[in-house]
Amino acid sequence: MVGRESSRDATHRSEVERAALEREHAAAARAAEAGGGAPPIDPEVRELGHELRRSVAVIYRRFRSLRAQGDLGESATEVLAALTATGPQSLSELADRDRVALSTISQTVNRLEQLGLVRREPDARDRRRVSIVPTEAGAEIAAVDRVRRHAWFDRILADLSDDDRAVLERAARILRDIGDA
């Protein structure tokens, strides 16, 4: 039963999460009363937000655990995935996509370049601009990673009922809209 949580552990985790949520509700109410916070939110809305954040975090952690990182690390693997999914990008575009500092993405790209997984090329439309392009080796790593994660998720979705898949399809659109807001 490696990697599985016992029912006692799950109950304890639920109790800890519930207590944390109650403290958050109380803190939000005190802040609102003192004029230092947002207006009070309906507890059901707050609970839904908590459950959505928790659910997204669980799925995100699972996807991360399936990454074919080896010694690359999460950020480098993410950059390779982005480049193979969307094509060549500038350092600024990569930094904006990941919402990180330009210096951070530059270090990641430098490391990938040293490993022979990306290369820099002058942009075909604007010779002043440099695009980051995955090499064959980098594209292969990203493809293996993508296949592994998609296979896991496809198996999970295939086991759901048609009704549950329809609910998730609608939820996916809503979550994407929230993320774009």
Q: Which domains does the chain have, with CATH numbers?
A: 6-41 (no CATH), 48-181 (1.10.10.10)
Q: How confident is residue 38, by pLDDT bands cut at 50, 70 and 90?
A: low
The answer to whether 27 and 38 are in contact (CB under 8 A) is no
The average confidence (pLDDT) of the chain is 85
Query: What is the rounded average pLDDT of the residues 105-112?
Result: 96
What are 139's two structure tokens? 């594209």
Kindly report the backbone phi and psi dihedral angles of residue 34, in degrees, each rounded to the nearest multiple of 5, phi listed first. -85, -5
Residue 1 confidence (pLDDT) above 50? no
Contacts of 75 (CB under 8 A, 6+ apart): 98, 100, 104, 108
Residue 105 confidence (pLDDT) above 70? yes
Q: What is the pTM of this model?
A: 0.63
The answer to whether 123 and 131 are in contact (CB under 8 A) is yes
pLDDT tens profile 39-65: 667 888 888 988 999 999 999 888 888
The amino acid that residue 117 corresponds to is L
